[in-house]
C-alpha cells in the first residue's frame, strides 16, 4: 500500500528520547495539488496491439473530506514517427564543407512530472518510432552519440505534428572553452551538457591544451566538467547557460592543483572488532578551494577483510557513510563527518551502530488498538534497507531497526478501510525506543477510469503529493471506480 509522507517534528519526543503521541489534528490542507497516476490493467489487447498507455492527471485538494475527480478516459495511443538529420562539420578543418548525416542516438519524449515518457533509438537512417498520447504537448530531446552533432531539446505538439518529416538539427552552435587547474591545462578532461531534467549528452574530451568543443541547439543548457577518467577530479557545473546563435564560451577553472589525499581508517563494531566486507561511501560537503555548491565529488570504497579502508580522495570536508556487510544482521549503518586534507589525521576507527528494537503502538483516533497493521521502517539514505513487523492484539508492533534516521510507514489492517496510511520520520534513539502512531480517516480521492466509454477494471491508482511522496493507492472495481484515502497533514499550512 502506498504511504503518507509526514515528517515527525522534534517536539514529539520527550527528554528521554521516547516518542510522544503523533499529531491528531484533522487532515485539512488547502491548495495542495495531488498527482494521480493511472496504470491500466493491460496496455495491449488480445492481439498484442497497444490499446492504452499509463496516464497522469492532477487534482486540487482544498480541505474537503472528499476530492472527486472527473472520469479519467484513457486515450488510444498515437504512433509518433520521425527522422532526425544534422550537418556534420569537417572533423579536421572547419572551413571545409561538411556533410548532411542521419543522426544516431536516442530520442526522448516526455510530459514533465508525469508518467508520459518514451525513449526510442534512432536507427542508422535517423528514424525513430514512439507511442504517445494524442493532442498533448511533449518535450522532445535528441541525444546524439557524437558530441559534435548538436544535442536538442524543445516542445513537440503531438497531434499537430503526428509525423516529423525531418527534424534537421543543422550544425548547431558550439559550446567551447578550456579546462584549467592551478597547475595548468587539464588534458583529457571530459565535458558534456545536461538537459533540464538532468539527461546528459555525449561527452567531449579536451585536447592536450585542455580545449574542448561540443555542439548544441541554441537554448538554455547546464554545462558539466566531469574531469578526467577514473573519478580523479571534482565535477563542476555551470547551470542555466544561455547559448545563442553564435554559441557560448564556457571555461572551467579548477582552483587547486588537483592533488589527491589519502583517506584511511578501519571499520569496527562497538567492541572494537574489525568488520570486513563493509562499504565506505564518501560524499563531499565542501571541497578545499571551491566555492560552496560549485563542485561535487563522491566515491565508494570497499573495506578489506581486516576492516581497513584506503583510498585517494579530493581534499575536502566529507560525510562518510559505512554500510555493514549484507549478511550481518546485528549491525546497522553509521555516518560521521570528517576532514580529509593535506596533513589531516587518518580517519581512524569508525564504529557501526547496533541494531535496536523499536516498539510502536498503532491506534486510530479513538485510541483503539489496530490489530495486524503493518509497520515498515526504512533507512533514510544508506541502502534504504527496510524492516517490517505487524501489530498484535494490543496494537504493538516490534521491529528491529538501526539507530539512524528512518521513514516509518503504517498501513492499516485490511478491515479498516476507513483509515489512511501514515508516515513519520523518526530517529529511534537508544537500543529500545517506543513510539505511538495514530491513523486518521484522512481524505478520500474518488473517481472512475474508462476506456472507450467502459469502466476499466483492475487499473492501479497511485496518489502522490506535491513532493512526489506516495500517499495511497487502490485498484479499480469492475465499473472502473476507485476510492483512495490519503492523509495530508504534512501539507497543512
Q: In what order do the strands lie in the sheet with 32-39?
A: 55-61, 32-39, 460-464, 470-475
Q: How far is CA 18 from the centre of its chain?
A: 32
How far is the C-alpha of 313 from the C-alpha of 310, rounded, in Å?
A: 10
Pairing status of strand 348-351 against strand 261-268: parallel
The pLDDT value recorded for residue 30 is 57
User: Which segments of the chain have a pLDDT < 70?
Assistant: 1-30, 91-96, 159-163
Domains of the chain: which residue ranges? Answer: 78-168, 174-254, 261-341
How far is the C-alpha of 416 from the C-alpha of 441, rounded, in Å?
A: 10
Residue-wise pLDDT tens digits, 300-310? 999 999 999 99
CATH class of 78-168: mainly beta
CATH topology of domain 261-341: Immunoglobulin-like (2.60.40)
C-beta of residue 103 within 8 angstroms of C-beta of residue 169: yes
**Which three three-digit cell numbers place residue 242?**
544561455
User: Are 174-254 and 261-341 the same fold in CATH?
Assistant: yes
Domain 174-254, what architecture? Sandwich (2.60)
Amino acid at each position: 500500500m502506498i504511504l503518507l509522507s509526514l515528517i515527525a517534528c522534534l517536539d514529539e519526543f520527550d527528554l528521554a528520547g521516547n516518542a510522544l503521541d503523533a499529531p491528531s489534528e484533522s487532515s485539512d490542507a488547502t491548495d495542495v495539488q495531488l498527482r494521480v497516476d493511472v496504470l491500466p490493467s493491460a496496455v495491449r489487447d488480445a492481439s498484442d496491439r497497444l490499446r492504452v498507455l499509463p496516464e497522469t492527471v492532477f487534482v486540487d485538494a482544498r480541505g474537503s473530506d472528499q476530492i472527486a475527480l472527473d472520469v479519467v478516459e484513457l486515450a488510444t495511443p498515437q504512433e509518433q514517427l520521425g527522422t532526425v538529420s544534422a550537418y556534420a562539420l569537417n572533423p579536421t578543418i572547419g572551413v571545409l564543407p561538411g556533410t548532411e548525416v542521419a543522426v544516431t542516438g536516442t530520442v526522448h519524449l516526455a510530459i514533465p512530472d508525469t508518467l508520459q515518457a518514451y525513449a526510442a533509438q534512432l536507427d542508422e537512417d535517423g528514424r525513430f518510432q514512439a507511442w504517445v498520447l494524442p493532442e498533448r504537448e511533449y518535450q522532445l530531446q535528441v541525444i546524439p552519440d557524437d558530441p559534435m552533432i548538436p544535442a536538442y531539446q524543445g516542445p513537440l505538439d503531438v497531434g499537430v505534428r503526428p509525423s516529423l518529416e525531418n527534424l534537421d538539427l543543422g550544425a548547431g552552435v558550439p559550446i567551447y572553452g578550456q579546462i584549467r587547474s592551478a597547475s595548468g591545462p587539464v588534458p583529457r578532461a571530459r565535458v558534456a551538457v545536461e538537459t533540464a531534467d538532468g539527461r546528459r549528452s555525449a561527452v567531449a574530451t579536451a585536447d592536450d591544451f585542455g580545449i574542448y568543443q561540443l555542439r548544441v541547439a541554441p537554448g538554455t543548457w547546464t554545462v558539466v566538467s566531469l574531469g578526467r577518467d577514473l573519478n580523479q577530479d571534482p565535477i563542476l557545473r555551470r547551470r542555466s547557460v544561455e547559448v545563442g546563435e553564435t554559441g557560448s564560451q564556457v571555461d572551467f577553472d579548477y582552483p587547486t592543483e588537483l592533488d589527491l589525499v589519502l583517506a584511511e581508517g578501519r571499520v569496527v563494531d562497538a567492541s572494537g572488532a574489525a568488520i570486513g566486507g563493509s562499504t565506505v561511501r564518501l560524499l563531499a560537503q565542501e571541497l578545499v578551494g571551491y566555492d560552496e555548491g560549485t563542485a561535487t565529488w563522491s566515491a565508494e570504497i570497499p573495506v578489506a577483510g581486516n576492516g581497513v579502508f584506503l583510498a585517494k580522495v579530493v581534499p575536502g570536508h566529507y560525510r562518510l557513510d559505512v554500510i555493514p556487510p549484507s549478511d550481518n544482521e546485528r549491525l546497522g549503518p553509521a555516518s560521521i563527518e570528517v576532514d580529509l586534507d593535506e596533513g589531516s589525521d587518518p580517519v581512524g576507527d569508525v564504529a557501526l551502530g547496533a541494531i535496536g528494537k523499536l516498539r510502536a503502538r498503532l491506534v486510530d483516533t479513538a485510541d483503539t488498538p489496530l490489530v495486524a497493521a503493518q509497520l515498515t521502517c526504512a533507512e533514510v539514505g544508506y541502502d534504504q534497507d527496510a524492516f517490517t513487523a505487524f501489530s498484535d492484539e494490543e496494537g504493538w508492533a516490534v521491529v528491529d531497526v538501526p539507530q539512524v534516521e528512518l521513514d516509518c510507514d503504517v498501513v492499516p489492517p485490511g478491515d479498516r478501510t476507513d483509515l489512511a496510511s501514515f508516515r513519520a520520520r523518526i530517529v529511534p534513539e537508544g537500543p529500545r525506543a517506543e513510539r505511538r502512531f495514530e491513523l486518521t480517516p484522512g481524505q478520500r480521492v474518488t473517481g472512475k477510469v474508462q476506456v472507450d466509454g467502459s469502466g476499466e477494471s483492475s487499473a492501479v491508482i497511485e496518489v502522490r503529493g506535491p513532493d512526489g511522496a506516495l500517499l495511497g493507492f487502490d485498484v479499480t472495481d469492475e465499473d472502473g471506480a476507485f476510492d483512495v484515502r490519503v492523509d495530508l497533514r504534512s501539507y497543512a499550512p
